[in-house]
Amino acid sequence: MQITIVSAGKIIPASELISATLRTDLVPIPASIEFTVQSTAELDSLLKEGEQLTVNDISHPFELIKVTPLKTQTIKQDRRAGGISCIGILAGCKRLIEYSKQAVISNETSFNSVIRACGATISLGSDLPLPKFVCLKGRMPTQRLAHYLQQEAAVICFHKNKVAAQKIDSLFKQEAITKLDPSSVVWISSKPLELMQKSSFVTVENNGSTVVGDDSITPGHTVTQRAGLDARQVKNLEKVLILRGTVIRPLNLNWNAGDIFEIDSKKYVVLTAAHHIDTGAIGGSMGTSSKFWIANL
């Protein structure tokens, strides 16, 4: 995994990189990088919060949001030996994980517009309309975005080097990128867990007389009341991606969250893809792998 520090144009060499995990998810900030390097005088000065990185051939840079020194009691070459643990997210998204300094209230808007209104400088490659968005002062924008994404039966993913808002239904209209044997999946089969991941929703129509969604209540599901929704939004809330299992494969950076696996003639979407390397730079074993969490409706 090639990580480059943008300001210095320095590629972190494998001899100094200890481990790294590149993740993609179906969440408001859909890509992140976590890595640990050996502490050197040069890296100590370069790896600071706010520094931008490029990873492999991903055109969009990452921004460091957390840098933690890891010190030991060992002295090597007249300085304390240790490491640096770093976490980065897509550059331009940091304001989305900070408490809002002002209220953002929009009607007849879009996800791209509200992300920008919340302070992000990133733009969506594909967008979806949004009837209403409210993020009050002191609230975290990512939490509010997740709330409205659920109401629109949509997700945000990182696809073809672009952040995109997509309907859940559209994900399953894609062609599968691979076909896997069921034996390659560690299946999660738990009815209680499935019930916990899905709720039934009810709301009251504007005339105050009709409850929408009560015919969809399933025994064992929690029932959640949401005010001010219409029948379309309640129906959207019923569309939930349920985790079905995990797949571990040799490192494959081309498979990511939002892609489709076909298993036993059924389609599953990748909820999370985690690409991990251990370089063995400070001893221990070397290894690379990709782990995928898969789900269906």
Which residues in 199-227 are b (16+ Cβ under 10 Å) and which e? bbbbbeeeeeeeebbeeeeeeebeeeebe
Nearest Cα neighbor of 34 from 26, 25, 126, 250 is: 25
pLDDT, block means (10 residues), the chain with 297 residues: 92 92 96 94 93 93 94 61 90 94 94 94 91 94 94 91 92 94 88 67 70 61 72 80 93 94 95 94 82 93
CA distances 226 to 110, 150, 200, 231, 263, Å, are: 21, 12, 10, 11, 36
Residues belonging to the chain: 297
Do 32 and 76 lie in one domain? The reply is yes
Kindly state whether residue 191 falls inside one of the protein's structural domains.
yes
| Domain termination site, one of 91, 121, 139 | 91
Q: Round to whole Å and give the CA distance between 281 and 297.
A: 42
Domain coverage including residue 79: 3-91
CATH of the domain at 32: 2.40.30
Work out how many domains the chain is built from and give that number.
3
Residue 126 DSSP label? B
Task: Tell me if residue 218 falls in helix, strand or coil.
Answer: coil
Residue 289 domain-assigned? no
- 146 and 103 co-located in one domain: yes
Q: Enter the pTM of the model.
A: 0.87
Q: Please check whether residues 35 and 102 belong to one and the same domain.
A: no
What are residue 197's phi and psi, to 5 degrees? -85, -10
Identify whether residues 213 and 186 lie together within a single domain: yes
Residue 86 falls within a domain, yes or no? yes
Domain C-terminal end among 116, 143, 167: 167
* Alpha helix segments (H runs only) across 162-229: 168-171, 191-197
Nearest-CA neighbor of 208 among 184, 227, 185?
Answer: 227
Q: Do β-strands 178-180 and 260-263 pair in parallel, antiparallel, or remain unpaired?
A: parallel
Is residue 8, in this structure, part of any structural domain at all?
yes
